[in-house]
Amino acid sequence: MTVPSPHLQAESLTGRTALVTGAAQGIGLAIAQRLATAGASLILVDVAEQELQRAATQLRSHGARVLARVMDIADRASAQALQVELAEASSGVDILINNAAIGPERNDPAYLVAKPKFWSTPDALWLEMLRVNVFGAQLLSTLFAPDMVRRGWGRIINVSTSLDTMYRQGIGPYGPCKAALEASSRIMFQDLDGTGVTVNVLLPGGPVNSRMVPADCGIDPEDLIQPETLAEPVLWLCSNEANDVTGLRLVARHWDLRLSTRERLTAATAPIAWPQLGAQSHIPAAKA
């Protein structure tokens, strides 16, 4: 169980329910652990059954309220079944962490060194990455956002990657899928602006010590960003202090708890999807 940072006053999330995808290990598990220490009830989703049950057991042993479901997040029938189950239990989703993804290691476990060419990715893997990494987040947000709007409070946090990773050679479809997720996140933010439901994008700021960076990549795990680095900014984004913080991409590596909140936001955030680059298209006015 992650120990709460002494630098950040514990934010009470008692009474809030967080759905975390890709929660069996890595970033998803670290986020789930941190939210649990703040009192949130957890819904953990993953396709890795044994790892998911192990994570749920660990969290429950520390007093967390946990519902674990093995589920393909991009399968509408499965996602709707979870939605119905939660509705019947009178449990809404207050916080949605869209973290689950298929990583570049599925294409080549030494991708950072071997830098496989784009034509080497099998069609089936390309399409599956697109389905899970982009549509999975879209589907769950579509199902759970309307109830958040009805209740006037909610958080959607989409875990993405750095701009330079999106076009890094050898990264295969992972980068382009995360670029699509970021563009989709900006649309979500605009559609939900003013409803009490915030949408933000969270990225590590470099490769993370997780299954997505196998030993074949040749990097010492201690030199990687640790999954827990992403947990503190998530906790803050879920706090009431962040009620009006939406439409941002937050780089966890720059979230320095020694700084004031204003200084942290200046150092670690920018608008989702780079609107600062300016308008690139001309849209003619619609005729009445």
Catalytic residue among 111, 135, 144, 174: 174
Could you tell me which residues come within 8 angstroms of residue 33 by beta carbon, excluding any fewer than 6 positions away?
A: 1, 2, 59, 231
- C-beta of residue 140 within 8 angstroms of C-beta of residue 98: yes
**Single-letter residue type at 225:** I
- C-beta of residue 188 within 8 angstroms of C-beta of residue 273: no
Instruction: Give the strand pairing for 154-159 and 17-21.
Output: unpaired
Pair of tokens at residue 92 = 């809404």
Please give the order of strands across the beta sheet that includes 197-203.
66-70, 41-46, 17-21, 95-98, 154-159, 197-203, 248-251, 269-271
Query: Is 174 considered catalytic here?
Result: yes
- List, by residue number, the catalytic residues: 174
